[in-house]
Structure 1
């Protein structure tokens, strides 16, 4: 097991997340595919509060990036206790890799864990543009050109792949956690943006379930494509209820949105809940305790 350098973060702010940060660092660093482990965001800057997420950049050997990324859900579930499969992060900036968000229970509440996987060959460039605190720096040999091509191809395919109904359901659950955090902090502008993102995810979920072959982008042609069936009309009613709410939500609005989308999923694409019933029940419990 490589030696992890946590002293810089510890001295910066003694964050409440330090035990969880240390546990996750051990889990990630144990993989021989991992070459770098860095923390960014408020933990790296010494400004974290008890609601702050744990935001990792994980350098992975280029040729092993696809296999590591594809087993990440299992790793985080088995070793870290993640409640749900990872959400493909659509908020994080493009840093040359792929971002995934997990919800990990610790000390009686759900913590947002952001894992940004980046090919090891891109780590030097990333360090020049992103402020990070380094935990693990195991500089590998230069990656062969074919390994770099493997990583680049995987990242492109990952970002281009359409999201499934199950992934869009998880997006709702993760965004609800983010929104509760924004509301508690009084971050109204960010809450507005993420509330709109949640409504967009509701629209995308309806289209993925009922019009997966749609040729229309965004919010166009919804009634024409969806309203031909009773299920479609009910789903559009859910979407109308969502967008008719306040521009900036209260906590009760966020909770209502989660219950509404769970009902929508049971109606339009119940297979998206396969294997997630216990996780959703636990999620509801943690949200009540938050």
Structure 2
């Protein structure tokens, strides 16, 4: 970690203290205790230069289903190390149930989006962390509405550090997802879809349902045709249907894509059961270290 401290520590300088009073006074969201806890964990690292809340919590329109949405400004030089430590930080200190999902829904704001599922108040709370280089924060603030929780004096940032941070972001977002990452993507999307269904957000549910099917296709390809030269949905039969496991996997995909265009809760649960069974057959190592988390995950979904 190169000496990067990501563990909680006392915030002694006045300039480093979190500004939560304004957020609480503006809307007193039910998620405020979680916002406070996560903010304190994130702000404890000296690599963090800015901490902003965005989305419905920043605008005062949050409801009990709203996610907790942070922008985390990280000094450009420390961004790779901070991202490398983030899963452990969110698991050990914040209690995240699963490793983070590299968000492919969030708009490109010059950083990297990560989504974590945290137990809170008897359910799984979606927590979005958008890691942005400190050099990008001024432009980001002009682009989206945010409420500032922390503005820390930022050490000087050199042009080479900015370039290296940009290269790291490009490489990270372009890297193909592993089978484990794609399985986690299914788990996160299932939580999102249950939220869309409860809110009656049919258009968003349609889009995220298609994303889930695409993640299933990507999981099959990552497991059974990792060196595929074909893009997207092309040549699946030719590449995958060569083995019994491949044919079973494509049958699962066929079942998924011939279902309803907009799911109900039972459809989402069935899709999740199907993809876990698919992973057991096609890429069982993707489940290594996740079985206890999957049991807890299912319990929280049943309680939601």
Give TM-score scaled by structure 1 length. 0.99
Could you say what secondary structure the match of 2:79 adopts?
helix
Does 2:102 match 1:74?
no
Does 2:295 match 1:287?
no
In the TM superposition, 1:1-290 aligns within 5 A as 1=11, 2-290=16-304
Gaps of 5+ in 2: 1-10
- Structure 1 stretch displaced more, 141-150 or 226-235: 141-150
Query: CA RMSD for the aligned pairs?
Result: 0.6
Quick check: 1:121–1:142 contact (8 Å CA) kept in 2? no
**CA–CA separation in structure 2 for the residues paired with 1:9 and 1:196:** 35
Gaps of 5+ in 1: none
**CA–CA separation in structure 1 for the residues paired with 2:170 and 2:264:** 37
**CA–CA separation in structure 2 for the residues paired with 1:160 and 1:271:** 23
**CA–CA separation in structure 2 for the residues paired with 1:157 and 1:273:** 25
Quick check: 1:83–1:104 contact (8 Å CA) kept in 2? yes
Quick check: 1:231–1:267 contact (8 Å CA) kept in 2? yes
**CA–CA separation in structure 1 for the residues paired with 2:26 and 2:245:** 53
**CA–CA separation in structure 2 for the residues paired with 1:87 and 1:28:** 18
Could you say what secondary structure the match of 2:245 adopts?
helix
Query: Number of residue pairs matched?
Result: 290
Cα offset, 1:30, TM superposition: 0.2
Cα offset, 1:148, TM superposition: 1.0
Deviation per CA, 1:106-165, whole angstroms, max 9, x where unpaired? 111000000000000110111111110000011313301221122111101101111000
Quick check: 1:169–1:272 contact (8 Å CA) kept in 2? yes
Deviation per CA, 1:213-250, whole angstroms, max 9, x where unpaired? 11111111010100010000000000000011110000
**CA–CA separation in structure 1 for the residues paired with 2:179 and 2:23:** 38
User: Once superposed, which parts of structure 1, at least 4 consecutive aligned residues long, lie more than 3 Å away?
Assistant: none
Give TM-score scaled by structure 2 length. 0.94
**CA–CA separation in structure 2 for the residues paired with 1:64 and 1:180:** 36
Could you say what secondary structure the match of 2:153 adopts?
coil
Could you say what secondary structure the match of 1:71 adopts?
helix
